[in-house]
Amino acid sequence: MIAFKFLAAGALAPFTRFQWPASGEWVSAAAHRPELWIHACRAGDLPYWLADELWRIELDGPLREARYQVAAPRARLVARVAAWDRALAGDYARACALRARDLALPHVPTAARDALARATELDAIADVARGAGPASRAAELVADAAQNALHVGPATTSYIAATLASALGGGLAAFEAERAWQARWLAERLRVGEVDSGP
């Protein structure tokens, strides 16, 4: 199976710090220990695993599918997805922050709603959202998303947007629907495969 794997710069596993051979050699885990198998993601799982580099990875052997990832006892890197770079990561973070603003609009105080709807720059979105006052949790999350898009990066920004969707009343289903929107955004721009359509 061809799947995807996010790695730190230099093909380094972000959690285990394992140095992946970029030349495509097979890497094996203990087949009798599924909890130690090599993890990867499908196109729909991309927003959950963001890091510096995105690679196509080939998984071999029995496949174990989980809610947000897949795993197998053997894998090898096939090719880096060059489209995932700093510029696209920034565009994605901005898209998630704007999406958070749009989701929150019906839930922010009326006095701030028009100004927030007109704000298109991340600094302005953060300022207007902060000005809505501490009583508005939705506005706080919008400000956090905008600030994270500017200063932290796409992983936290997209997580905040999904958390906002959940906090607005939809719970886990709304969280996952927002992640699905994010996955479609990524798949379209990265041209990495189909993701189920949805909200």
Question: What is the model's pLDDT at position 197?
Answer: 44
List of residues 6+ apart from 106 with CB closer than 8 A = none
Q: Give rounded-to-5 percent helix, strand, coil for the chain.
A: 50, 20, 30
**Residue at token pair 């189909």:** 194
* 164 phi, psi to nearest 5 deg: -60, -45
Number of helices and strands in the chain (H, E): 6, 7
Nearest to 185 by CA among 46, 55, 86: 46
Tens digits of pLDDT across the chain (199 residues): 999 999 999 999 999 999 999 899 999 999 999 999 999 999 999 999 999 999 999 999 999 999 999 999 999 999 999 999 999 999 999 999 999 999 999 999 888 899 999 999 999 999 999 988 777 899 999 999 999 999 999 999 999 999 999 999 889 999 999 999 999 999 999 998 765 444 4
Burial level of 116, CB count in 10 A (0-12/13-18/19+)? buried
Strands laid side by side in the 74-80 sheet? 2-7, 53-60, 74-80, 27-28
